[in-house]
Structure 1
Amino acid sequence: MKLPITALTLFFVSLISFSQNLPSLLKGKNINSTFSILAYDEHTQEWGVAVATNNIYVGNSTIYIEPGLGAFSVIAETEPSYAQAGFEKLREGKSIMDAIQYTKNKDDQANYRQVSGIDKDGKVYAFTGKSLKYWNGNASQILGKNYVVMGNQLEDSVLSSMSRSFETANGTLAQRLMESLVAGQRSGGQISGKQSAALVVKGTNNDWFNQIDLRVDHSSSPVDDLKKLMDFHYGRIRLNQALYAHREGNQSRALKKLSESEKMLDGWTGMYSRIASANILLDNKENAVKWVKKGISENPNWSVYLPAFYFLKDSPEMKGLINPSRFTTKDWEAALNMLSNLGRELEVIELAHRLKSDKIESSYLNFLLGRSYFYEKDNEKAIKFLELALQMDKENIEAEMLLNKINS
């Protein structure tokens, strides 16, 4: 039976639409255009991979890192066994080339894959499956000192741009990987579009909070969104550095780091209260108010943070935003806690006693009052209110710990 001409037309249009994947499409494969960079930093003992693709959650199946051993990136038609067996071979003392070739020699689908690897010393190896040359766009790899860039279905200059960017970039390994990925996208990226991106960095000397695992699983601008996540990561570090510098009495460094953090954290409304309080610590009330109002304008639910900024209620710019008459007990606790975090213990003591006289009472409020007396070196009154806090709530662990500290 002959197909109607309209059906034939639709059939061939469908084949043309997927022509870049034709060799694997007929075999039921699910291949997607991808580009990645894998690298090692010999100074920090870190390994990292950054990758972008036109499919969802690319970080789920393309990045494999074991600090102190090496890393693998498997793209095109992914296959985790390259990393699983590869790490085992590296443990046995095999070279990175042998570690990859071990699986490739047993893989009858190797012609559909791209695999790169790097060992504990930064030695690299990669291969691009022979069938990838039949897809639209460029499919190849570039091996450099301590890094590999590779990809398929790409504009011609993508990999060279990634390589050049990585070699000239400054900053941490994660930042250099990010610069490389951004350069690849700006050079045209994948000819078939973009949907997800990921970046992972792990090191032998890194605490858990210094390991980076960032993913954008579905987006119309995944690389830009991934860069924003990295800005958030380093912005929070800059903010902590600002607070530390302030405690150490280095105000110029504190102001510099705070300014850097503000640029990097713009868009993360959950950090605006910390930015505002940091500005108060550094005597920039006007900027603190700006961040409070910015939080409210960008996220209506941000108003939950407002009671903590009770001390700003009389500022003309805050008129109508803070209404103490509607505060709950927890709101007052937030107000007291913020004052204490700012080192304004005498204000905590004055406000807490006023609240208690108005019959606003709680275990945590008494703990905050006792803690402020402790900070003011009045242990007798500190003990009084800490004991009262425990009478109201025997499970108030913060009151218990501070009381034990005073009595020890």
Structure 2
Amino acid sequence: MKTRTSVSIILLLLISVSGYSQNLPSLLTDKNINATFSILAYDKNTQEFGIGVATNNIYVGNSTVYIDPAVGAFSVIAETEPLYAIEGFKKLKAGKSIKQAILEIKEKDNEANYRQVSGIDLKGNIYAFTGESLKYWNGRASEILGEDYVVMGNQLDDEVLLQMSNTFKNSKGTLGERLLQSLVAGQNAGGQISGKQSAAVVIKGVNNEWYNQIDLRVDNSKNPIKELQTLMNYHYGRIRLNQSLYAHRKGNIKRAEQKLLEAESMLDGWDGIYSRIAKANYLIRSEEDAIGWIKKGLEENPKWRVNVPAFYFLHNNPKMESIIKPDLFNINDWENAMQMLSSLGRELEVIELAHRLINKNIESSYLNFLLGRSYFYEKETDKAIKYLEKALFLDKANFEAKVLLSKIKL
């Protein structure tokens, strides 16, 4: 009787502390297992693999996501084990199917009952299993296999996996956006019964550019999926901003305006990119719109003032008189002002400003480089050479001056 009472007390104590430490299964089994849900998918059109995952433990993206874009991807949750990916990739390269690869590793795994593993290959073939021990714990532990994707998780509310699956299946957008939509749906359906702490989305493909190689992670947060959404917005918002500027260069003003509008809605809060947004507004909309973003940067971050000199070209606007103060500029400020003018194609203004500064004995190697480059753009080769050589006289290590001078003298 005393033994039973002691066991009951221990169990009650374990249950009572589970909310403050790891979850109950981890405490009872001495396993580092935490409630987790994930989605693994392959986009045949873009040839990208992607994994989205969330858990109530720290840095989930560090130990559950494995992608080799040349062969496939694996997600290992609950009691994680990287060998499923390390050996799995070898087996896929040797010609084994995704199912064969996982089952052969599972057969030698004494801890398989505590794991959930999913995998997908280049043809979109999928396989997944949920360890038997996980099914006896609080919450649902299972997997759902769809076309080119699989969702799985443990210690979840009942509707989590179904909502994740349906959302991904019916979603639109890039693979990264669709994975995140699935994670959001899972969280909105109840998520993990023991809470939330970290989340990640990783995308890799053989043929995609750097901007489609995504590795976004929130390692420790009270609202990790919301923060992951912010990171995803910043990632795709920056792409849309680039698309806006490209469309403007090509003369497609309607597309430039649309992409800028999309970018602004996604980049709000990232003050580090407000300078580029302000520049885009100046080019595509108006001075007033550009000034609005400059003021927004200053309001959100006092240190943003370091960006102000680049907008010297707006100093005659009455709304900028109290913001842009050329009398207080140092040489770096003037260089930033000239660099921005050049990026706007206003080379004659760069030349005029540079000479005005040189006449006041305000100059540097980089200022002379900018002056020489503007003369080069204006097809005044002799003057370009003169000031590029002066830039190198002032600083032999001025790499940009060396490269441009070599190009001119070829």
Query: TM range, normalised to the smaller chain?
Result: over 0.9
Q: Match for 1:242 among 241, 244, 250?
A: 244
Cα deviation per residue 1:244-275 (whole Å; 9 max; x = unaligned)?
Answer: 11111111111111111111111111111011
Change over 3 Å in CA distance of 1:23–1:232 after alignment to 2: closer
> Who is 2:45 aligned against?
43
Residues 220-369 of structure 1 mapped to structure 2, 5 A cutoff: 220-369=222-371
Cα deviation per residue 1:118-149 (whole Å; 9 max; x = unaligned)?
Answer: 11111111111111122211111100011000
Q: Match for 1:130 among 129, 132, 140?
A: 132
- Tell me the number of residue pairs that the alignment of Structure 1 and Structure 2 aligns: 405
Tell me by how many angstroms 1:314 deviates. Answer: 2.9
Cα deviation per residue 1:59-85 (whole Å; 9 max; x = unaligned)?
Answer: 000000011211000001111111111
Q: Match for 2:106 among 96, 104, 107?
A: 104
Report the Cα distance in structure 1 between the residues aligned to 2:188 and 2:26, rounded to whole angstroms.
Answer: 28
Alignment partner of 1:31 is 2:10: no
Report the Cα distance in structure 2 between the residues aligned to 1:131 and 1:9, rounded to whole angstroms.
Answer: 23
Tell me, yes or no, if the aligned pair for 2:54 and 2:225 is still in contact at 8 Å: yes
Alignment partner of 1:180 is 2:203: no
Residues 123-202 of structure 1 mapped to structure 2, 5 A cutoff: 123-202=125-204
AA paired with 2:195?
Answer: G
Tell me, yes or no, if the aligned pair for 2:66 and 2:73 is still in contact at 8 Å: yes
Report the Cα distance in structure 2 between the residues aligned to 1:37 and 1:119, rounded to whole angstroms.
Answer: 14
Secondary structure class of the residue paired with 2:226: helix
Secondary structure class of the residue paired with 1:44: coil
Q: What value does the CA root-mean-square deviation take over the aligned residues?
A: 2.0
Change over 3 Å in CA distance of 1:356–1:35 after alignment to 2: same
Residues 65-76 of structure 1 mapped to structure 2, 5 A cutoff: 65-76=67-78
TM-score by length of 2: 0.94
Report the Cα distance in structure 1 between the residues aligned to 2:179 and 2:284, rounded to whole angstroms.
Answer: 34
Report the Cα distance in structure 1 between the residues aligned to 2:366 and 2:83, rounded to whole angstroms.
Answer: 53
> Who is 2:376 aligned against?
374
Between 121-130 and 306-315, report the one with greater CA deviation.
Answer: 306-315
Change over 3 Å in CA distance of 1:144–1:11 after alignment to 2: closer
AA paired with 1:15?
Answer: I
> Who is 1:14 aligned against?
14
> Who is 1:218 aligned against?
220
Runs of 4+ that moved beyond 6 A: 8-11
TM-score by length of 1: 0.95
> Who is 2:399 aligned against?
397
Tell me, yes or no, if the aligned pair for 2:23 and 2:194 is still in contact at 8 Å: no
Change over 3 Å in CA distance of 1:283–1:385 after alignment to 2: farther
Report the Cα distance in structure 2 between the residues aligned to 1:150 and 1:169, rounded to whole angstroms.
Answer: 18
Change over 3 Å in CA distance of 1:23–1:218 after alignment to 2: closer
Change over 3 Å in CA distance of 1:22–1:391 after alignment to 2: closer
Tell me, yes or no, if the aligned pair for 1:24 and 1:112 is still in contact at 8 Å: no
Between 377-386 and 231-240, report the one with greater CA deviation.
Answer: 377-386
Cα deviation per residue 1:293-352 (whole Å; 9 max; x = unaligned)?
Answer: 111111121111111111222323323222222211111100110111111111111111
Secondary structure class of the residue paired with 1:26: helix
Secondary structure class of the residue paired with 1:295: helix
Tell me by how many angstroms 1:239 deviates. Answer: 1.0
Tell me, yes or no, if the aligned pair for 1:30 and 1:77 is still in contact at 8 Å: yes
Q: Match for 1:113 among 104, 112, 115?
A: 115
Secondary structure class of the residue paired with 1:394: coil
Tell me, yes or no, if the aligned pair for 1:339 and 1:348 is still in contact at 8 Å: yes
Tell me, yes or no, if the aligned pair for 2:26 and 2:34 is still in contact at 8 Å: no
Report the Cα distance in structure 2 between the residues aligned to 1:250 and 1:22, rounded to whole angstroms.
Answer: 59
Cα deviation per residue 1:85-142 (whole Å; 9 max; x = unaligned)?
Answer: 1111111211111111112111121111111111111111111111112221111110
Report the Cα distance in structure 2 between the residues aligned to 1:98 and 1:153, rounded to whole angstroms.
Answer: 27
Cα deviation per residue 1:277-307 (whole Å; 9 max; x = unaligned)?
Answer: 1111224211111111111111121111111
Tell me by how many angstroms 1:11 deviates. Answer: 7.0
Cα deviation per residue 1:145-189 (whole Å; 9 max; x = unaligned)?
Answer: 110000111111111111111111111111111111111111111
Gaps of 5+ in 2: none
Gaps of 5+ in 1: none
Report the Cα distance in structure 1 between the residues aligned to 2:310 and 2:360, rounded to whole angstroms.
Answer: 19
